[in-house]
Amino acid sequence: MPFKRFVEIGRVALVNYGKDYGRLVVIVDVVDQNRALIDAPDMVRCQINFKRLSLTDIKIDIKRVPKKTTLIKAMEDADVKNKWENSSWGKKLIVQKRRALLNDFDRFKVMLARIKRGGAIRQELAKLKKAAA
Amino acid sequence: MAPPSKLSLGIKRASRSHTYHRRGLWAIKAKHGGAFPKAEKPAAAAEPKFYPADDVKPRAPSTRKANPTKLRSSITPGTVLILLAGRFMGKRVVFLKQLKSGLLLITGPFKINGVPIRRVNQAYVIATSTKVDISGVKVDKFDDKYFARDKKTKAKKTEGELFETDKEATKNLPDFKKDDQKALDAELIKAIEAVPDLKTYLGARFSLRDGDKPHEMTF
């Protein structure tokens, strides 16, 4: 079981602790054994400990410490946003965010929908069982 | 009149006659026909029979004015509230208006979840962000006096009757209150049925399930 996601310039990572929790960032330089320089289109470039990053599968093609406009263009060329939102990890996070904002009424409607879906599934299953019998 | 100035300690600038003239008592005497007017002494108050042991100052009455109860900004007319205590704990009801006493006027509506027109304290309520349109509902006739208890006239009980407990008259809701409920709810139910699933939502009770974190839930 070799490693597949490496810390390298251009690696897209998710911040998993601190003020920028949940933000997608790009590693643009390595400071030392523990810290990296990260950058994202809507934040000031800063250093962060590797322990605060979760590496993703996405990598973009940039040189060491690019200009902001270069970084943005490279992210668009690699289509980071869509790759992330279509990955199962990214989809999970979007669903989590949406669930957290649900109203009490929304939660009720979700419950009704789940019951309805379960009922439909069970009906189909019963039909199939009957057909197989 | 300004006090006489000093030349040195004990030596005044003006002489006795000069000071007398400056003081002007002669003018007051002349005005009142030669003598200085003596003020009438007020009649001496009778000696009180009782002197308290300690000299305590009487407490000054408080000038504090009570402010009207602040209504939470999340509670506006038409908001769906979740009741947290009492007979209707967990029921989702519609808020109508805040009464003068500070209590909230709510209704089930009665046909949907069995909660009548009632008063409830803000503290025992969670305000959800779901709102019902109550522009067509008239709530002007409801105030705190509407909900006041009727004074019971206690009939004198004889010795034998004291131990009879089932003679107490059962409380019946007066007809005009039942009619008020129907009239109020008629408009409200129309507005509720316009929104899909809202009727079943109001008919269901709220409860916490496994995994629910109320401090993280948005209502």
This prediction's pTM = 0.72
Half-sphere exposure of B117 (CA within 13 A, CB side): 26
Q: Nearest residue on chain A to B195, judged by CA atoms?
A: A105
Q: What is the DSSP letter of B19?
A: H
Taking the C-alpha atoms of residue B180 and residue B190, their distance in angstroms, rounded to an integer, is 16
- Report ipTM for this prediction: 0.75
The answer to whether B35 and B29 have CB atoms below 8 angstroms apart is yes
Encode chain B (219 residues) as per-residue pLDDT tens digits: 677 678 888 888 888 899 888 888 888 888 887 777 788 888 777 888 888 888 888 888 888 888 889 999 999 999 999 999 999 999 999 999 999 999 999 998 999 999 999 999 999 999 999 999 988 888 888 988 999 887 776 665 666 555 555 555 567 788 888 999 999 999 899 999 999 999 999 999 999 999 899 999 999
| Residues A29, A36 contacting (CB under 8 angstroms) | yes
Candidates B129, B204, B218; nearest CB to A108? B204
- The Cα of A90 is separated from the nearest Cα of chain B by a number of Å equal to 22
Pair type for strands A46-49 and A35-39: antiparallel
Other CB atoms within 10 A of residue A103 CB: 15
Of A89, A15, A26, A24, residue with least CA distance to A60: A26
- Return the percent helix, strand and coil in chain B, to nearest 5: 25, 15, 60
* Candidate from B130, B216, B217 with C-beta closest to A105: B130
